[in-house]
Structure 1
């Protein structure tokens, strides 16, 4: 199997790479390794529908049960790669066996950042990254009965999605965020303020700008409260951590592959080692050039994983097409669907289209006169249009962009379009 494609990580990126490689005519063997015992599954519902009870575990499969056999993809579950030898093109596995490869793809993802505080190991303190994690949180809160209380540590996307899902299930939720505002890494202040108001309106308590000092438990080792740095004590039955992730680069680093906040890759997923690719949450990718935008970034999203996997598959299949898609993301919180396109930068002009108070609007970010990014709330059609505007680097007068009645479609297809008058 010296010509095989070996994929380490049965994730969105790993499955998409295998599927796209086959679609593009790659005929050599494909081996997909997953260290979990579950077949590849969807992750977004873990912090949304699965916690609220709207989605069951048997609805999460990424592909149907016959897909892997039909596409001649050998799926090996419960198997972990332990070492890579790039010179020999060989992967060592934890059962003592090895696989030779023609191409190796690392889709090793990321793991939850640990909480380095007293009480972090108490019973009732949960991470949320895997299906087993989500099932454990759901079962634990069900066991608490009426009046159950949860503290969510971290006011990023995962933390806020968990807060929304638990609130919908009848849990009293407090979100604790050490930064003075929510989503500080992803949203500018105006959007952070909107998100905070939206969560408070829907029953979530927010503790912002105050770190956690310790988690406190009872004599049986069960978490019972969270003590903040200001001395405040928040009673709770469960704690869910949402303080970010750490990319799983150890396998690559040990093999001498260049890493910096992830595995460094180009627009085709190539790493510094010949015939070794990376994609998904572990990959620090070169991004399509946008004036004023970042040259590369590690994007933790399904869309980035799938887009990076398709680009890598095109290389493997001998039809190289570097990553060119505008980055986009989404999040569901309560009855709000957030859809983000492009990457805002400090100094962008902010233009609001629609009424923020209606929970249906888009904020456009204009850089050098052109649309560079957009954040939409409950405006899916406008989000799709925004992606085209960003790709076309559309130059739109602010008064037109802000007018909900103005037709923006011509700006998405006609370069340098100017409305009449």
Structure 2
């Protein structure tokens, strides 16, 4: 194998090409990214960068010089038009690149509101890439009124930043509570309370009917015909895997680009990793949207492209910054049937499925997070009553 092309210059793509070189691959590597900047961190975009606490250069995963030093042909502003599987080429504007192996790390794209309800009006923003955040930055002025559509982590992080900047913030959530798909009611209630303490209004069981305005957003109309004034709107209603290229190329899709356990798509010369890829897990398929997964899965795929033949086994962890409280999550809470609440110096929620500990939400409690993560990785089942007792030494449970 002489030539590897990687499409998508986000966290997964950057991790994959670095791993190829670290593992001794000495052939040609081309990394194609649509944005005009080198690969960068996304989580700080809606936090430190939007707050003005982080300069652009600090977002970059590595200095731009790293890629040249490693013999990696990083191409920015490079939009891939098509994949020709028969010819084993990637088609760009005015150029065709051959590959021996191709990796798709195309990530995901924010879900948008339809134009029919004003989703394309100036002043309607999404939070995904650098251009999105740069576009909304000038709207983040003290006293401005922002309506945030969606009570998931993306919307709530934007709400926290807006509140810290002195904006008037309202969050709309259709479900009976925030974080309904991703967290237990206990975690949702704690974060709801935190936002309320910072002056954020969260309206649950509230549907958006229309974004108002002619040349720019002036407000929103709700499903009950009530109206809220707004100087701008942030849409945080989730993301979808970026699979257009894969679909056009005829690759199998299943909640993303379907891969085998080693990251290979339905075409043995094409691999996938990160937000865009789904992989076998516990008898079904799983797609993870996290920095940790993008790194770990991409490195596993790089190893397998070089012949390692190792299955990807996720050890998920996530985090979300809410004001000065860091929510840290270990494991996956899918299928949980009870939650044990531990209130010591800080609060943590421990998810059980039957007798097995499967996930932990640690709200400003790094010790609970670290202990819970190790327990899950080691398959340990702590005593629920001991967990709930604030006098219990968590590290002692880990040693038990």
In the superposition, the TM-score normalised over structure 1's length comes to 0.90
Residue number in structure 1 paired with 2:315: 326
**Matches for 1:198-209 after TM superposition, within 5 Å:** 198-209=194-205
Give the Cα separation in 2 of the matches to 1:307 and 1:267. Answer: 13
**Matches for 1:358-369 after TM superposition, within 5 Å:** 360-369=346-355
Residue number in structure 2 paired with 1:374: 360
Give the Cα separation in 2 of the matches to 1:20 and 1:63. Answer: 13
Residue number in structure 2 paired with 1:278: 272
Aligned match of 1:163 in 152, 159, 166?
159
Q: Evaluate the alpha carbon distance shift between residue 19 and residue 264 of structure 1 in structure 2; reply closer, same or farther with a 3 A threshold.
A: same
Residue number in structure 2 paired with 1:20: 19
**Structure 1: 5+ residue runs without aligned partners?**
414-418
Q: Deviations over 1:102-161 (max 9, x none)?
A: 21010111111120242222221112211011011112334xxx4211111111111000
Give the Cα separation in 1 of the matches to 2:64 and 2:85. Answer: 33
Residue number in structure 2 paired with 1:72: 71
CA drift of 1:276 comes to 0.6
Residues 36 and 79 of structure 1 are in contact (CA less than 8 Å); yes or no, is this contact kept in structure 2?
yes
**Matches for 1:19-418 after TM superposition, within 5 Å:** 19-93=18-92, 95-116=93-114, 117-142=116-141, 146-217=142-213, 221-287=215-281, 289=282, 295-355=284-344, 360-409=346-395, 412=398
CA drift of 1:85 comes to 2.1
Q: Evaluate the alpha carbon distance shift between residue 405 and residue 64 of structure 1 in structure 2; reply closer, same or farther with a 3 A threshold.
A: farther
Residues 85 and 255 of structure 1 are in contact (CA less than 8 Å); yes or no, is this contact kept in structure 2?
yes
Q: Evaluate the alpha carbon distance shift between residue 133 and residue 396 of structure 1 in structure 2; reply closer, same or farther with a 3 A threshold.
A: same
CA drift of 1:401 comes to 2.0
Give the Cα separation in 2 of the matches to 1:383 and 1:323. Answer: 23
CA drift of 1:411 comes to 5.6
Q: Deviations over 1:171-230 (max 9, x none)?
A: 111111111111111012222122211111111111111110101115xx1211111101
Give the Cα separation in 1 of the matches to 2:6 and 2:266. Answer: 17
Give the Cα separation in 2 of the matches to 1:404 and 1:3. Answer: 58
CA drift of 1:38 comes to 1.3
Give the Cα separation in 1 of the matches to 2:148 and 2:26. Answer: 47
SS at the partner of 1:191? helix
Residues 335 and 353 of structure 2 are in contact (CA less than 8 Å); yes or no, is this contact kept in structure 1?
no
Give the Cα separation in 1 of the matches to 2:42 and 2:263. Answer: 22
SS at the partner of 2:119? coil
CA drift of 1:387 comes to 1.5
**Structure 2: 5+ residue runs without aligned partners?**
none
Give the Cα separation in 1 of the matches to 2:289 and 2:244. Answer: 18
Aligned residues: 399
Residue number in structure 2 paired with 1:416: none
Task: Between 49-58 and 20-29, report the one with greater CA deviation.
Answer: 49-58
Give the Cα separation in 1 of the matches to 2:81 and 2:111. Answer: 21
Task: Between 53-62 and 14-23, report the one with greater CA deviation.
Answer: 53-62
SS at the partner of 1:63? coil
In the superposition, the TM-score normalised over structure 2's length comes to 0.95
